[in-house]
Amino acid sequence: EVHLVESGGGLVQPGGSLRLSCAASGFTFSMYSMNWVRQTPGKGLQWVSYIFRSSSTIHYADSVKGRFTISRDNDKNALYLQMDSLRPEDTAVYYCAREGIGSSYYMDVWGKGTTVTVSS
């Protein structure tokens, strides 16, 4: 069965850093592009970052560009999000989501999310 499990969330002060991880299982991780998507409490979904299956192409939302870094380790079936210079507005549930096979432009599998709280 296909699974994505996020970890690494927690409480951090403004200006601090966190590293999120997403462990993938049940599919050939290296064949799929991946995304991070976040959701502020009571609000909608916001796409954060995308990484191509070989890491050759990476995209960021303007709101996190220059502060967040997405990466992956295909040998470990893992996706990461390094978050630096965190702000209160980064408080959200962060989901990792798999893109459909090929350059498909949709997300077909989602994890349960990990909560990041940025507060003093």
Partner 1 sequence: SYELTQPPSVSVSPGQTAIITCSGDNLGERYVSWCQQKPGQSPVLVIYRDTERPSDIPARFSGSNSGNTATLAITGAQTMDEADYYCQAWDSDTAYVFGTGTRVTVL
Query: Where on the chain is the footprint of partner 1 (CB under 8 A)?
Result: 35, 37, 44-47, 50, 59, 61-62, 95, 97, 100, 104-113
Q: CA 75, 93, 13, 89 torsion: positive or negative?
A: positive
Neighbours of 63 (CB within 10 A): 13
Which SS3 state, helix, strand or coil, does residue 88 take? helix
Q: Specify the residue, 56 or 105, whose C-beta has the smaller distance to partner 1.
A: 105
Q: Quick check: 72 and 78 in contact, CB under 8 A?
A: yes
Q: Specify the residue, 78 or 110, whose C-beta has the smaller distance to partner 1.
A: 110
Q: Specify the residue, 4 or 18, whose C-beta has the smaller distance to partner 1.
A: 4
Q: Specify the residue, 17 or 108, whose C-beta has the smaller distance to partner 1.
A: 108
C-alpha 70/C-alpha 7 separation (Å) is 15
Output the smallest distance, CB 94 to partner 1, in A.
Answer: 11
Output the smallest distance, CB 112 to partner 1, in A.
Answer: 5
Strand partners, 107: 99
